[in-house]
Structure 1
Amino acid sequence: MGIVAQKQDIPDIGDRAIQAEAAGIVPEKFEKYDEYLAAIQNFKLDPERSKEISMKDKQWAGISVVARGIEEKFDLQTGTAGRMMILAAGDSGFFTGERMLGWLKSGNLSMDRVADYFDRKLDGADSMDMEEQLILHEKASGSPDSDSVIETRILEAGDNYSNYLKNFS
C-alpha cells in the first residue's frame, strides 16, 4: 500500500512509536503522516527498553501507526484502517495489501462492511451479500478459481481471523 517499507514489520514500527513517544515524538506534532513516520523510523531504539515492551503492546502500537497512514492516504474514516490491519494480522495470506487496496479502489466494497462480515456482525442476508461481493471482486481481479474455491478461501480466512482474535486477546 506504500505506507511503510515492505521489509518493516508491525512490531518494529510499534516499538519505535512507543519509544519515540516517550521522547516527545507524537503524531500531533506533525502535519503529515509521512513526516511522523520518518521521525519514528529514524529514532534510535534502546535495545533494553525494547525487551521490556510486550509483543502485544508493540503489535497494537504498530497497527495504530500504520492505520493512521492508511486513513490519511485513502481519506478513510478514523478507525477503518485499524480494522483492516487487524484483519491482515489474522490471516496475512488472504488479507494482503494488494487485495485490500483493490477493495478500497473498487469503490463498491466498504472496508467497514468487509470487517463487519469477518467479525460476524452481519445478519444472514447481509453476510451472504458481502460474501458474494467478495467473490465477485476476486473474479474481477483475475482469479481463475471457481466460486466455490474462492468461497472456501474466504471462509478459511474468516476462521483464521477468528482464531487469531481468540489467541491475541
Structure 2
Amino acid sequence: MMIFFSPRKLEQQLLNESITAWEKAKYLVLAVVVSALAGPLFWVTPTVKEQHTGITALVQLMTTIVGLYITYKGVRKCYSTNNQEEKFIERFICLRVPWTVIFGAVLAPLSIAIIVIAKKAFPEVPDLSSFIIYICSPFITYLYYYALNCSFGRISEEQSEATSTSGNSGLR
C-alpha cells in the first residue's frame, strides 16, 4: 500500500526493505502520471490569461532559474546524504510522494489565501498575487529539498546505527 502522508513511515519501510520493487515502482508511476497531467495544463494556461511582459515576467524568469538551481543542489544534497548509492533512486522516487502531498496540502490553501487577499486588498495591482507566489517559490523549493534531505538523513543515520550495532556484536 502506498504511503501518501507519512514520510517517516515510508522511511522505515525503505530502511527495513519491507517494500517490494513493484510497490516502489508505483511511486514512479504516480510521479510520471502527475507530470503527464501537468503538461497539458501548462499549454492551456496561456490561453486563459494573456501574459504581459514586464517586471512580473522578469521575476518569474529569475525565480524559475533560481528554483532550477535549488532543485539541482537539492537532489545533489540528497544524493550525498544517502549512504547507499544503489538505493538512492528508489528512495528519492518514493520519498518524493509523501513530501509532495504534504507540501501540496499546505501550499494549495496558502496560495488561494494569497490570491484572495491580494485581489481584495490591492485590486488595482492585478498581478500582485502572482508576483508574491513567484518571489516565494525558490524558498518553498528550498524547504522541500531540505525536508526531503532530512528523510535521507534519518534513513542513513538509522542504517549506520543498525550496521554498527550488528557489527559490534561479535567483537569483545
- If asked which structure has higher relative contact order (CA below 8 Å, sep 6+), I would say 2
TM-score by length of 1: 0.30
What TM-score do you get using the length of structure 2 for normalisation? 0.29
User: Relative to total residues, which structure has the larger helix share, 1 or 2?
Assistant: 2
The structure with the largest alpha-carbon Rg is 2
